[in-house]
Amino acid sequence: YQCQTLTSDKSEPVRLQVAHSWLTLKVPMFVFEGDELYVSCAGYPGYSARDAVLYKDNEVIGSSPSDADFLVGRANMTTSGLYRCTRQVKDGLIYYSYASEEQIAVKELFSKPVMKVNPNHPTEGDHMTITCDTKLSPHRETTELQFVFYRNGHNVQGFSLSNQYGVPSAQLEHSGNYTCEVRTNNNTVRKTSDEISVQMAERSYTSLGVGITIALLIFFLVVALLVYVFKNTTFILRHTYPTASVESTGNRKGLNFKYIEVYQAQKEEICV
């Protein structure tokens, strides 16, 4: 059987098996890491049953003289295996022994976290961000996860909902071996990333000094060039466009006059 909504893909198929048997081992359809796993060694309805024994991979893991339900425990990946139960079911006046088995495959709740650092090769003074990536199973995508970060085994950011650890201005002391850990809110599943090494490169100030020196040199050269151009332009103007003023030796109606010659143009009388 499968189901589908208007906005989703088809679900994973589930198998429905109607059996006419004296004994049935009932197990959950899906088992995820962190789930409490219950199984039931159910006899045929209306018939008395006794002495239930539960096996995992041919090893006894539980027994009960009357109860058919077993709590296997908190599931993890090692819980997967072949489960079998045996029980005596009474038919008439005699108890007969029956067995039933089922395969249980525990599914991963979320993947092992992977750490990433940005930038890949941080330099002193950079804004450094370390991300702890993991992926939840689509069947449990609403599960709340918490993240914690360590450097050289020491906690640098406690458990929180953020999967990032940021350093606004990284320094040399931020170099080290980083790991992150992810856990469920109820702490039933915990997973730790592989270790990554972050080595902070020391920022070189030599290139900065050279850049400043070159900039200052260019500035002074431009200033010197402007001064040189200004002086030479003034000298050229004085020699190319001379002006001359000559006071008249006589008065004209009591006024003094000067003659100014510009661009070799016609003399103009200017009253002074």
Tokens of 56: 């995992």
92 pLDDT exceeds 70? yes
Going by DSSP bridges, is the β-strand pair 49-56/81-91 parallel, antiparallel, or unpaired?
antiparallel
Least confident of 93-97, 181-185, 245-249: 245-249
Q: 212-265: per-residue pLDDT in tens?
A: 667 778 887 887 788 777 777 665 555 554 544 444 444 544 444 444 444 444
- pLDDT(142) > 60: yes
pLDDT of residue 266: 45
| Lookup: tokens for 143 | 């599960």
Please state, in angstroms and as integers, the Cα–Cα distance from residue 77 to each residue in 13, 34, 80, 189, 250, following that order: 21, 10, 6, 11, 123
pLDDT given at position 237: 53
State the span(s) of the chain assigned CATH 2.60.40.10. Answer: 23-107, 114-198
- What is the full DSSP assignment across 23-74? EEEE--S-EETTPEEEEEEEEPTTS-EEEEEEEETTEEEEEESS--EEEEEE
pLDDT of residue 210: 56
- Mean per-residue pLDDT, 112-133: 94
Q: How many CB atoms lie within 10 A of CB 110?
A: 21
CATH of 114-198, one of 2.60.40.10, 3.30.70.2200, 3.40.50.2300, 3.40.50.720: 2.60.40.10
| β-pair partners for 148 | 181
pLDDT of residue 269: 46
pLDDT per position as a tens digit, 59-89 = 999 999 988 999 999 999 999 999 999 999 9
Residue 146: CB atoms within 10 A of its CB come to 17
CATH class (in words) of the domain with range 23-107: mainly beta
Q: Do residues 57 and 132 make contact, with C-beta atoms less than 8 angstroms apart?
A: no
Cβ count within 10 A of residue 205: 8
Residue 156 and residue 165 in contact, taking contact as beta carbons nearer than 8 Å: yes
* Residue 252, token pair as written in the block: 């004209």
Write the CA distances from 267 to 153, 253, 262, 264, integer angstroms: 96, 20, 8, 8
